[in-house]
Structure 1
Amino acid sequence: MKLKGRRRLPKSRRLWILAFVWAVPAWGYETAPRITDREIVEVLTELKAGQQAINQRIDDLRSTTLTLFSVLIGMMAAFVGFVLWDRRSMLKSVQSQMEGVLAALRELAKKDAQVAGILRAYGLL
């Protein structure tokens, strides 16, 4: 059954129209300008300078981290030294107090036989 009043395009014209429709988007793109060798060298030098700046910043961060770590270790060593010194000074005062208590108990043992027996049992008299 044939449609009346409608005509079909010949096959060659359909191909031309299809090729034109596919080619239209390509006309919308701009061509990139040519890059000269001088521009390439300039961009490369900028990249190298940026790379060197980044390397310098990393080196600075490393040295700062090392400095802070060293300060922290020094503070810890000073704290341990202070604790040991304080312990020794505290032991000296406790030792002198204990010697005083022992002397008082020995004096008391001269008058009290029960205290003298206890001190002898522990080897303090």
Structure 2
Amino acid sequence: MNKVLRIAVIALLFSAIFPSWVCAADSSFTQQDRERLNRVEDRLSRVEDRLTRVEVRIDEGLKAVNQRMDDSSNALNRQMNDGFNALNHRMNDLYGLMYVLIAGMLTLVGFVLWDRRTTLAPVVRKNSELEEKTDKIEKVLKELALKDPNVAETMKHVGL
């Protein structure tokens, strides 16, 4: 305990034990008063000893409480770090799965484009062959129309 509190306790005890000394300044100091003062001093020293022991107990209790709080705080920090590490591991797994899905989708798009190109190539080739044949037939019909008026009339009617 601090000194001010000790002095206040001593003053209260002293005034409670010897109220006449506090109020009366003109009383004479006798042998009985000395003995009484010695007893009061003994009592006060015992009270101080008890207060010191209580103070030591309180300090030890506070140290124990602080140690338990530190241990709890360390355990909580350890658990939180373990939780964050587990969460980080799960997030890395999730990122890996996302990369696999994105790669799969890009592969699928590439395959579709390749398949479309390989599927359309024969169709485009066949179409160009048919256009060439159609152009040749049209050219033949135009030459034939120059020689035959019936063919010319039919081609005019069809729009060629």
Q: TM-score, normalised by structure 2?
A: 0.47
Q: CA deviation at 1:91?
A: 1.8
**Aligned partner of residue 72 in structure 1, secondary structure:** helix
Match of 2:73? 58
Pair 1:113-2:109 in alignment: no
Measure, in 1, the Cα distance between the counterparts of 2:119 and 2:63.
84
| Alignment map for 1:1-125 (pairs within 5 Å) | 34=47, 36=50, 37-113=52-128
Runs of 4+ aligned residues of structure 1 deviating over 4 Å after TM superposition are none
One-letter code aligned to 1:38 = R
Measure, in 2, the Cα distance between the counterparts of 1:89 and 1:42.
70
- Between structures 1 and 2, the one with greater helix share: 2
Measure, in 2, the Cα distance between the counterparts of 1:34 and 1:54.
32
Measure, in 2, the Cα distance between the counterparts of 1:80 and 1:113.
49
Would you say how many aligned residue pairs link Structure 1 and Structure 2?
Answer: 85
Pick the structure with greater CA Rg: 2
Q: CA deviation at 1:93?
A: 2.2
Asked which structure has the greater RCO (Cα within 8 Å, sep 6+), the reply is 2
Name structure 1 gaps, 5 residues minimum. Answer: 1-25, 115-125
Q: CA deviation at 1:100?
A: 1.1
Q: TM-score, normalised by structure 1?
A: 0.58
